Structure 1
């Protein structure tokens, strides 16, 4: 088994918009350096999008990345009250993971969560989780770095 890698998009991968001919809509893609980092992560485990970005964006990114294993999409059932939490996605992610476990679909032995919004509540949750968890908090301006991918690789090698 491999870890599940919960991966945010905005503030982590920061896709770049490219205007279309119609001038209104735009396609978004990752710079090759970021795409290479995602491909490196995919060698460490199963990518799972944990993003509030529209589904068409994840489809565009998947098309660009051409990963061997198609990423999973975490259904984030957000509530208004989640916005006030230090880690707004934590409740929804916890519930999604519990549903997958209850349905016998939890085919991972550890978790990695990469996001630009991970508060103290996420670290407390990680410490009490039943499997090893590695959190990587990105700077929203810079996004995912090669050092962070190396940290994930080190975590995966150690489990």
Structure 2
């Protein structure tokens, strides 16, 4: 089974803090709302390199849903990626984030790495205990700074050492 690399947008690719000089500012209009996002074009290359090195499939795990393919992918040099369908939920069952059940359903039994700024112990417990998943790595990204080379190296190391890497 080919592993998944699941990527969030806000707080991961679009940091909430003051962006570093290598980030570019964009205005994205979704319906009647215009958002300002700060993106680092190098993130696209780094994510593609990680996917290639490990044989993993990149996918969006974001509330941006398919808008990520319209607004984020082109600015990072990424192709259109599969999107984890997010189900609407009012409250969590066990303290997990609203996206966690959707990620679990999408991943099924495939191993995955999930880059998100809002994954916690409750999410890991939900995935392991309530969904029976064992082969995943939650990479919590500091939303002030966003995705770093260290996060990507951690993912590559886990995929490789766990034997999930299908690197070319």
TM-score grouping bracket, smaller chain normalisation: 0.7 to 0.9
What residue in structure 2 maps to residue 33 of structure 1? 42
Identify which of 32, 37, 51 aligns with 1:42: 51
The 1:11/1:137 distance shift into structure 2, 3 A limit, reads same
Distance 1:115-1:19 versus aligned 2 partners, 3 A rule: closer
| CA deviation vs aligned residue, 1:22-62 (integer Å, no higher than 9, x gap) | xx957856212333332233323111111112533332222
SS in 2 for 1:114: strand
Which consecutive unaligned segments of at least 5 residues does structure 1 have?
A: 102-107
Provide the residue aligned with 2:85 in structure 1.
75
* Matching of residue 146 in structure 1 with residue 149 in structure 2: yes
Match of 1:105 in 2: none
Say which structure is richer in helix: 1
**SS of equivalent to 1:80:** coil
Structure 2: tracts of 5 or more residues without a match: 16-23, 164-168
Tell me the number of residue pairs that the alignment of Structure 1 and Structure 2 aligns: 146
The 10-residue stretch of structure 1 (129-138 or 78-87) with the greater mean CA deviation from structure 2: 78-87
Deviation at 1:124, TM superposition (A): 1.8
Query: Contact between 1:82 and 1:89, CA under 8 Å: does it hold in 2?
Result: no
Return the match for 1:155 from 155, 158, 167. 158
TM-score normalised by structure 1 residue count: 0.74
Q: Distance in 2 between matches of 1:116 and 1:54?
A: 16
Relative to structure 1, the CA distance from residue 85 to residue 111 in structure 2 (aligned partners, 3 Å threshold; closer, same or farther) is: same
TM-score by length of 2: 0.70
Q: State yes or no: 1:124 paired with 2:95.
A: no
